[in-house]
Amino acid sequence: MSMRGIDTQVRKERREVFKEVASLAYYSENLKDDMEALPYRLVPDDDPEYMDKYRQRAIARERVRLAMGLSLRPENQPVHLTQGLEESNISEKYYEPPLMQVIPSACNACPENVYRVTDKCMGCVAHPCREVCPRGAITWVNGKSYIDESKCIKCGKCKAVCPYDAIAHQIRPCSSACGVNAIKSDDKGRAVIDPDMCVSCGQCMVSCPFGAIADKSQIFQLIRAMQSGRKIIAQVAPAFVGQFGPNVTPDILKTALKELGFFDVYETAIGADKGAIAEAEHYVHEVASGNQPFSLTSCCPSWSVLAKKFFPETIDKISNALTPMVATARIIKEEHPDASVVFIGPCASKKLEASRRTVRSDVDFVITFEELAGMFEAKGISFEGLEPVDELKGATGAGRGYGVAGGVASAIEACVREYYPDVEVNIEHAESLADCKKMLLLAKAGKKNGCLIEGMACPGGCIAGAGTNIALPQAAKALAEFKAAAEEKLPPMNE
């Protein structure tokens, strides 16, 4: 059971930070002073939630910096809260790496991997825990089992055999959520992220019960760009359905985005449709024909980065089809050459993708659904009673299905079956970084030849991305309905 979709105190605090940072961009006339005052607004004197308000304010300061696109300050030298603000107060600012950062003052330095006997131990006569321990790490102390951590090899046999479930296995929530072992420890036992291993999926961020991990945001710069009078067009990823409440239809969301100041709103699924056709063609001509052993989808940036970092021999197997985000941005810029494009999605690693030099000319900003909710709150835009004045349409069911695990593969498969009926198609999909790694290992070993392989870093697909607002089952149901509502099921071949 994960915390996802539960409105925890951590999520409320994150949303409050986004709302306040958006408010700074919208309304502040004295940015430096207002930014200095913000931690005191976020952590007021009289709030019983905050036992240690001084530490909480220190944490709030770093959260505000990250939300404004700035990096964390070093712990051991004096750097002003607003340092770097002028360079950040521009609309051209891109994400400066690293994208994911652990706020040291917020980290609880949780035990990394420990087996402990809890007070549920009954001191039973059989003590099977002691019998199965291969290292003799369990002894009898004051009538209860005791584990000597210096001898324990973390095999878990004692936990598995205890009849009272009295042995607890404590793992860092951030580490267990990370499928690439990018979470290390500093000299104080606090978590740090190894940037060479991290693929920016953000699953550590949404799994930390202390809210100690955050990514950087571009909402401040986006609002600045909107205020400068630039023509800005939004494209929304298909996982948006249901993210802003059960009654917010796609048309209502488009209307609300226009009220927020966007010139127009497109579905990213239009680009997904283009990609599905391109990937179907590639599969038929390259993989099914035997020219290439297997092909990997490209739409999840964390999956692509995983392949490039850990399985460099698979790089040439990653599809050359543009990701839906980039394909849609190019369509928008063909139709509106004077516009800037913001991708609004569920995903942290799209921020990473957009900062690549090859993508920067197409996608100007990336924000998440969670960050957009902060913008709506800051602007006081309520969905209650909002009448839709515009329709969000244009994509097929295939493209909309990209938002859920397996959806990319099934869209490509459907295109192959429709347009190349005599070609046999083998589809595989992996979700979660750990499973993606296993899949790439099998592919590398020649066990997946002839396959089209879809990888999704987030378990459940994009609807489980780090920037989403609702629980997975609700999101999956909403997306299935949105997909079914598409006028066309498949994109036409001659795109």
Note the pLDDT tens digit of each residue in 469-478.
Answer: 999 999 999 9
Q: What is the mean pLDDT of residues 342-362?
A: 90
Residue 493: its pLDDT value, please?
83
Q: Is the peptide bond before 163 cis (omega within 30 degrees of 0)?
A: no
Lowest average pLDDT, out of 218-227, 267-276, 388-397, goes to: 388-397
Cα separation of 23 and 220, whole Å?
Answer: 9
Identify each DSSP E strand in 238-286 by its residue range.
264-267
Lowest average pLDDT, out of 183-187, 251-255, 319-323, goes to: 319-323
Residue 40: its pLDDT value, please?
93
Q: What is the mean pLDDT of residues 429-453?
A: 94
Domains, the chain, in order of start with CATH, read: 9-108+178-220 (3.30.70.20), 113-171 (3.30.70.20), 231-484 (3.40.50)
Band of residue 393 on the pLDDT scale cut at 50, 70, 90: confident
- pTM exceeds 0.95 for this model: no
Cα separation of 176 and 490, whole Å?
Answer: 38
Band of residue 91 on the pLDDT scale cut at 50, 70, 90: low
Q: What is the mean pLDDT of residues 402-424?
A: 93
pLDDT surpassing 70 at residue 205: yes
Q: What's the whole-number average pLDDT of the chain?
A: 92
pLDDT surpassing 90 at residue 134: yes
Residue 90: its pLDDT value, please?
67
Residue 32: its pLDDT value, please?
93
Residue 219: its pLDDT value, please?
94
Residue 495: its pLDDT value, please?
47
Cα separation of 130 and 167, whole Å?
Answer: 12
Cα separation of 457 and 324, whole Å?
Answer: 16
Higher pLDDT, 49 or 223: 223
Q: What is the mean pLDDT of residues 44-61?
A: 84
Q: Are 190 and 109 contacting, i.e. CB atoms less than 8 angstroms apart?
A: yes
Cα separation of 358 and 346, whole Å?
Answer: 22
pLDDT surpassing 80 at residue 92: no
Residue 84: its pLDDT value, please?
85
Band of residue 321 on the pLDDT scale cut at 50, 70, 90: confident
